[in-house]
Amino acid sequence: MEQILDLLLFCASILLIIGLRKLSNPASASKGNLIAAVALGLGVLVSILYPVVTDDNNYLIIVIGISIGAIIGIISSHRVQMTKMPEMVSLLNGFGGLAAALVSLVWLINNDFSGETGQLVIVLLNLFLGFVAFLGSLIAYGKLSGKIQDKHLRISFSTLINITLLVVAISAMIFFSISGNLSITHLCVFIALSLLYGFIFVAPIGGADMPVVISLLNSLTGITAAISGIMTDNKLMLLGGVLVGSSGIILTLLMCKAMNRSLLSVIFGNFSSSKGGESSVDGDVKEINPSDLAIQLAYSSRVCIIPGYGMAVAQAQKTIKDLESVLESNDVEFKYAIHPVAGRMPGHMNVLLAEADISYDKLLDLEEANDYLASTDVAIVVGANDVVNPSALEDPTSKIYGMPILELSKTKSVVVLKRSMKPGYAGIQNPLFFKDNTKMLFGDAKESIELILRELKDL
């Protein structure tokens, strides 16, 4: 029976790899997600059956735990909105880290808080990373949901504190591992240190940099899952953890490049509050109404949409798809410029546009988009702010200075769909709104596009 369960785990591992591979293409992503879910379901099944065949008596607890988790997961999946998906991802990632930390705690309890040097180093590392990912993800969740404001978490000398805490944590791991055992008091202090580092690590980081942080925290959770797989001799958990951890690191490096940040600045935190004060922005805002914009679009050759979090809030992606269909029927070329960190998490805009059945071929990455925007007649910014903010190129005092952006200065006409003149997630004003080639269309993005569609159909 154990051999059959091992064979099931092997099959689940193969299915997981196939499923993740299919996620790389939008056309096969849905099927890939289903295959990966089947693989993880097999892993859960083996976890339920294994205690039975080994004559352990804890299978009832496992079933109860899985049942509670499944009920919470099903309810959450039905209730969560696409606009809240980044918060959900961050929250689930945090509980993944907590689960790994609890695996380490159980190991320590079962081994009387002692072990060989190599074993204790791995267990304590897993404990540390698990609690860092847990509390760090909860702080990220609070920031993304608006429950925690950056101004409430300003910490003086946070970078120095981060480095100090990290050095102390590493030193503690080495000391306890060499000694071969640790007391309950030492363990509680180490857990408190881990949680403190998780808090200090994420707390000072501003909203504009949150996608990078989420990517890094996701990678940490993957690493803890891999270590937990080694500790519990679960090959599927090991494989899944390695895949998540390695892909998370790769994604973090790509996000750092997109944000013009170094990985060290992410690890030690506080990289979005390292600048001085923002330069003041003066000028007059020029408004446009839906009727005039509809006429402008009808006589354009190239139109480009730049989506942001405002599109997610307004749930305007399907209405934008309708706008695309109408304009393309009039021989207008229609594309989407996607910034790597648009929205609240990596790939947020891609997911929303895919939900509206928008072809992946129409999505342009940063470099392609900037070339395309230079010859675009009308660029419509739907709820984006920081990823089109020219302060990143022009203002050395800006929080986002040095970050590659979607450059709209050469575009013939820019129209920004926005509810108000309030700053974006980074908390800074956008000089783009006052440029000569920019006009503002205030209101709910979905309602504004519906009015534009109505005007286009009447032309």
DSSP string, 175-205: HHHHHSB--HHHHHHHHHHHHHHHHHHHTT-
Determine the Cα–Cα distance for residues 193 and 101; give it in Å rounded to an integer.
14
Residue 307: φ, ψ to 5°: -85, 150
Is 357 in the active site?
A: no
SS3 label, residue 165:
helix
Q: What is the DSSP string of 221-261?
A: HHHHHHHHHHHHT-HHHHHHHHHHHHHHHHHHHHHHHHHT-
Give me the residues paired with residue 156 across strands: none
Using CA atoms, how far residue 340 sits from 86, 403, 431, in Å, is 15, 11, 21
The DSSP letter of residue 329 is H
Q: Which of 209, 386, 395, 436 is catalytic?
A: 386
In whole angstroms, what is the distance from residue 227 CA to residue 204 CA? 29
User: Which DSSP symbol is given to 443?
Assistant: S
Q: Are 441 and 417 in contact (CB under 8 A)?
A: yes
Is residue 373 within 8 A of residue 304, CB to CB? The reply is yes
Residues assigned a catalytic role: 386
